[in-house]
Amino acid sequence: MPEHDPIGQSDAVFTAPPIAHARFTIGDVVRHRMFDFRGVIFDVDPVFANTNEWYEAIPESIRPKKDQPFYHLLAENMDSSYVAYVSQQNLVRDDSDEPIEHPAIAGLFTGFSDGRYALRREHRH
């Protein structure tokens, strides 16, 4: 006799979604592929983890897939500093070796060396 199967899924096979590998890590300086801004990564989501309203506000012609890493950036452009949420497909490594001038940098990172920032000890897991 089969084991108790309360949801009737005994014949179902679980298939895990493909695992997306993050190309970047916390402290990396990156720039957007299409828009003129750059930033330092301070958090990584393995897949999209923002609101549907945010996602739907992106024009469909440039809307990224949700099943890829998304990065939280302390970002800057020529006019301002802000926080950005960007898909992996829209980021490239920034090779300028120039620091980011965001006011929140000092609260999260200790220094800038070799094109990346070191995360403060109290923020490490």
Q: Is residue 96 part of a domain?
A: yes
pLDDT at 1 over 50: no
pLDDT at 3 over 80: no
Q: Is residue 16 part of a domain?
A: no
Tell me which residue of 114, 88, 117 sits closest to 101, measured CA to CA. Answer: 117
Residue 123's pLDDT is: 82
pTM for the predicted model, two decimal places = 0.82
pLDDT digits (tens, 9 = 90+) for 29-67: 999 999 999 999 999 999 999 999 999 999 999 999 999
Q: Is residue 10 part of a domain?
A: no
> Which residues constitute the domain of residue 106?
29-123
Q: Is residue 1 part of a domain?
A: no
pLDDT at 2 over 50: no
Q: Is residue 59 part of a domain?
A: yes
Q: Is residue 19 part of a domain?
A: no
Q: Is residue 103 part of a domain?
A: yes
Tell me which residue of 104, 123, 100, 78 sits closest to 28, measured CA to CA. Answer: 100
CB 70 within 8 A of CB 86: yes
Q: Is residue 52 part of a domain?
A: yes
How many domains in the chain?
1
